[in-house]
Structure 1
């Protein structure tokens, strides 16, 4: 696992060795073991290395191909590189190292862009072709590894993290307003946008190539939800094989390896799979909270005991306020998923014992593990069965009449009826959105709304929902979350928080072959009679206790509402109301004060919105205070 950065200077010089070093130093945490640069008249490349495979100096990057034509900087792991290497050796290729990096170079020299179809792993890389003076950038299918870029007078600068571009003064820090609105809607800035104008994130499953004539970008992979008829027993057997193989591939490392263990189905299943394949106890790490309703450590401990793991726990108590500003600093853009806090601490805990950790990420999005899928499926059945004239003409009036009721049941009825008035894609946006249109109008300034015009963040959800080739509603919303929430939130959180501690995290359930298999399964094997992750639980059933498989999902959720009234109250009040920049440029502070007071008095729970506001202001203080 590493950090990469660089630029082309095909049209005019951009930088020198010192600029490359500044870019690399900004992402030193991603690769503390070694660094090096390559610079010629057409390109500058820099690499920070975290040694995982082939710990010798032979694995140092930038790496040159044996023919001398290509130079690569690579961040990630290729899990099938041994098979690919053997195939290339059978064709006569001679390797100088034992790294997956050299395998990518050899494949690219042989197949060009088509090499991406052979790679199974998590990656972001750049390859410079000295002969054609062109730069090839690529990102893995699911979006495990990040890649930012910006264009500069026909050239391009890129990096694993935005802070490398900022350190090189290659980016103007002008906030992109539609990205700001997206952030408050989703709690992250979605691909390909960036919080700054003129900067982009290469989307998962895409490549980008630039030369003197210009640039082109193309998608090379997408997951299909065209379903294949298959019996449950057959599907379960194939799924077990996929999980076993994906886990085995991710246990290859020349450094200590362990696992995150939350006590949920996914991480517990991965630990069970690892234990069966390991000759020694698996190292496991768990995070808990003092508040019992947010604490899963007892479930994690039961799995740890069952498989006799080398188990470690940490309870998050009074350390949040003193660490929050540092945590936010690792996110180059505003990011407000509250589970960033426990992910930071579990990564810190894990790094004390291992360099690589396996995790259960992806199970919920691929196999329908969230409660929202059940609720949304019910809503959609009512939507399909209720005459349109009734939904469009009558339901809006009833919903509006009930929305301010003091009775919870009537307010929930209002929300349900309002959802039925919308089409399926827009209703799913409302399910995912962390801010309502009324809240946005309440907190945003007139100037902000005027500049945004007709733009609305629902476009992201609607576009993804529409692009899915699946025939049923569940397939479309799973696809939507894979293309948005998974890559834009979950994987960003894990990447930044793990790399903050120079820890590599691997996710077996996100092996692209497993994702493709899951996409092909009938929807009733994912959500079956209200049971979420039906087939995945069935595949794990023989190895996990019933209380893990049947208990209600808790998620990696910290007690944000309580924090804002207690541990974080002082920090939040200072950040939100003792500032002359940041939120003031886009929001109505008096409206935010009223929302804050309502939350403090416990009249209403505004935790999600206030947390997003706090995260934005802390980000601003870190990255914009000099502007």
Structure 2
């Protein structure tokens, strides 16, 4: 696990940017605290920061060259099947000078070219430089577990693991108002776009070829799924359940390969408990880690985590936190975020990663299972829309009532009212519009109203609509639950969930591995009928049933809980001055000219009212944006 960056100049103007390679590489220090090196020639610069995981010796340092000194690689990630791939290459007469997966990847590319990507089981972002042809080959893993940003213009091609690294090259940074409009709804910016018009994200499962002043993009992987086809899978439920268990165990076993201490996140939910159960079979000394919330007992799941740890005899560590402990890390997290990203549960992931790093360099997690197998409230709501009963019809019919009743996430009853209002609102929309609304904290009009008059002029609605349509193309009018899950895999998972885990773990030099996103598991899951995954009474049905006789029974008799932080309380107390007198103060907003203060003032008044709804999430999005803008002088 590492941080990478590089530049390929096309002319003398582009060559000037090579002077920034060292500073750019240094900006990735937290991703790779163990070693740094750069390579620079007439037209190219490459930089690498290393977090040593497999073959920690110096011979595995990067940038790494093949013996001919023609090809060079900088690589961020892990190839879990590298030993099998290496054996295949050895049988073909290829020689090796290290025990690293980096060298296997480089020589696999030399042998198979871009076809090597289909052979990889792992997560990655990498660049291979052909010195003779003066070309780059850049690729990203199937699901976007590892990030890759790039800029391409008439003078140069630049890539990096992080936006802060891109900014070190002194690039132009005009705001992308279509991206900002999406961010004000979702609290993240979907790929391939970024907050700047000049920088893009390489899509998951894609690669780039760069050379001769040209850039071409290709796709090497897409989830093998066609709407409706999976509903008639020939496997019985029992057969599918057993096959899922076999694939998951193989996936976990692959992800135990490391030359450094390895553990597992254990929240007490089904997903992380399954990963722990499987990992403990093959690693008897498994160390597991949980965080608990002393001040928020409703969200504290450490009782269940301890049950799982005891059952599988892991060495278990609980980091018990107060709200003050959470709040103490807010500034550090905001400082690290280098593109507006406002999923507040990143605070929890940051602290869990920071504490885990004191004991391990690698951690397994249960991420991806909810998107893959239908674990969210949103999935239950979509199921209810497709199978409406009396309750759903009543909730939809009472839409005007829910709108005026007090809504908040901070109380059980007021949260039910909030959920009822969102359900009733979504019920009146087309499936694609419903998905977008339920994925958002603000309506499109609500986001647009936050723009100042000047920002509204810079906002290109047609561009925004085109981007949204591309993101929603996997939600047809006559959809199945698998269509919804596929959209989650393409939109929410890479742009929110995986971004959150990557950012917060890498901020602490911790590698997180996600067994549910092994491509064999994903491909199989999307071959299964929707009703194997979710029905009226159960989400992630096949996963829960597969491990019912393995996990503690108590895990099955409790509601699913979120991974939230007490934003509303902070905003009304500790952060009130930051909101009212600094970041969202009238003078600051009007001087910037990006936002409409009247709309922000309306949100602030709602924040301190008895009917806050989801306003805390919208305020958090604005705080993150304002902090980011000041931190990076945008």
Q: What is the TM-score when the length of structure 1 is the normalising length?
A: 0.92
1:222-301 equivalences in 2 (<5 Å): 222-225=222-225, 226-227=229-230, 228-301=233-306
1:533 deviates by 0.1
Q: Which moved more, 1:467-476 or 1:277-286?
A: 467-476
Whether the 8 Å contact between 1:583 and 1:589 is mirrored in structure 2 is: no
1:287 deviates by 4.1
- Residue 506 of structure 1 pairs with residue 523 of structure 2: no
1:322 deviates by 3.5
1:399 deviates by 7.7
CA displacement, residues 407-443 of structure 1 (integer Å, 9 cap, x when unaligned): 8899877755543432211111111111123422443
Whether the 8 Å contact between 1:426 and 1:462 is mirrored in structure 2 is: no
Q: What is the TM-score when the length of structure 2 is the normalising length?
A: 0.91
CA displacement, residues 486-539 of structure 1 (integer Å, 9 cap, x when unaligned): 000111111110011101000001111111110111111111233100001112
Q: Measure, in 1, the Cα distance between the counterparts of 2:492 and 2:522.
A: 15
Whether the 8 Å contact between 1:287 and 1:342 is mirrored in structure 2 is: no
Q: Which moved more, 1:284-293 or 1:239-248?
A: 284-293
1:241 deviates by 0.9
- Residue 347 of structure 1 pairs with residue 353 of structure 2: yes
1:597 corresponds in structure 2 to 605
Q: Which moved more, 1:407-416 or 1:256-265?
A: 407-416
1:471-486 equivalences in 2 (<5 Å): 472-486=479-493
Structure 1 pair 399–216 and aligned structure 2 pair: CA distance change class (3 A): farther
Whether the 8 Å contact between 1:318 and 1:567 is mirrored in structure 2 is: no
Whether the 8 Å contact between 1:583 and 1:617 is mirrored in structure 2 is: no
Q: Measure, in 1, the Cα distance between the counterparts of 2:556 and 2:68.
A: 53
Q: Which moved more, 1:475-484 or 1:402-411?
A: 402-411
Q: Measure, in 1, the Cα distance between the counterparts of 2:266 and 2:487.
A: 27
2:529 corresponds in structure 1 to 522
2:624 corresponds in structure 1 to 615
Q: Identify the match of residue 586 of structure 1 among 565, 572, 594.
A: 594
Q: Which moved more, 1:413-422 or 1:367-376?
A: 413-422
What residue ranges of structure 2 are gaps of 5+ in the alignment?
408-415
1:46 corresponds in structure 2 to 47
Structure 1 pair 589–57 and aligned structure 2 pair: CA distance change class (3 A): same
2:413 corresponds in structure 1 to none
Question: How many residues were matched structurally?
Answer: 614
1:379-394 equivalences in 2 (<5 Å): 379-381=385-387
2:186 corresponds in structure 1 to 186
Q: Measure, in 2, the Cα distance between the counterparts of 1:356 and 1:557.
A: 24
What residue ranges of structure 1 are gaps of 5+ in the alignment?
none
Structure 1 pair 464–231 and aligned structure 2 pair: CA distance change class (3 A): farther
1:371 corresponds in structure 2 to 377
Q: Which moved more, 1:399-408 or 1:133-142?
A: 399-408
Q: Measure, in 2, the Cα distance between the counterparts of 1:214 and 1:92.
A: 34
Structure 1 pair 185–455 and aligned structure 2 pair: CA distance change class (3 A): farther
Q: Measure, in 1, the Cα distance between the counterparts of 2:16 and 2:509.
A: 27
CA displacement, residues 40-71 of structure 1 (integer Å, 9 cap, x when unaligned): 22311111111000011010101111333211
Structure 1 pair 153–614 and aligned structure 2 pair: CA distance change class (3 A): same
Whether the 8 Å contact between 1:47 and 1:61 is mirrored in structure 2 is: yes
Structure 1 pair 83–411 and aligned structure 2 pair: CA distance change class (3 A): closer
CA displacement, residues 167-209 of structure 1 (integer Å, 9 cap, x when unaligned): 221x222211011011111111110111012100101000011
Secondary structure in 2 matching 1:218: strand
Secondary structure in 2 matching 1:482: helix
Structure 1 pair 590–467 and aligned structure 2 pair: CA distance change class (3 A): closer
Q: Measure, in 1, the Cα distance between the counterparts of 2:498 and 2:587.
A: 31
Q: Which moved more, 1:439-448 or 1:401-410?
A: 401-410
CA displacement, residues 546-567 of structure 1 (integer Å, 9 cap, x when unaligned): 2213421112212222222233
Whether the 8 Å contact between 1:287 and 1:346 is mirrored in structure 2 is: no
Q: Measure, in 2, the Cα distance between the counterparts of 1:344 and 1:530.
A: 33
1:583 deviates by 8.9
1:99 corresponds in structure 2 to 100
1:153 corresponds in structure 2 to 154
CA displacement, residues 296-320 of structure 1 (integer Å, 9 cap, x when unaligned): 2222122122223222222143134
1:220 corresponds in structure 2 to 220
1:87 deviates by 0.8
Q: Measure, in 1, the Cα distance between the counterparts of 2:590 and 2:545.
A: 49
Question: What RMSD in Å do the two structures reach over aligned CA positions?
Answer: 2.6
Q: Measure, in 2, the Cα distance between the counterparts of 1:414 and 1:615.
A: 27
Whether the 8 Å contact between 1:147 and 1:161 is mirrored in structure 2 is: yes
Whether the 8 Å contact between 1:528 and 1:534 is mirrored in structure 2 is: yes
Q: Which moved more, 1:88-97 or 1:16-25?
A: 16-25
Q: Measure, in 2, the Cα distance between the counterparts of 1:156 and 1:213.
A: 9
Whether the 8 Å contact between 1:30 and 1:500 is mirrored in structure 2 is: yes
- Residue 557 of structure 1 pairs with residue 564 of structure 2: yes
1:382 deviates by 5.2
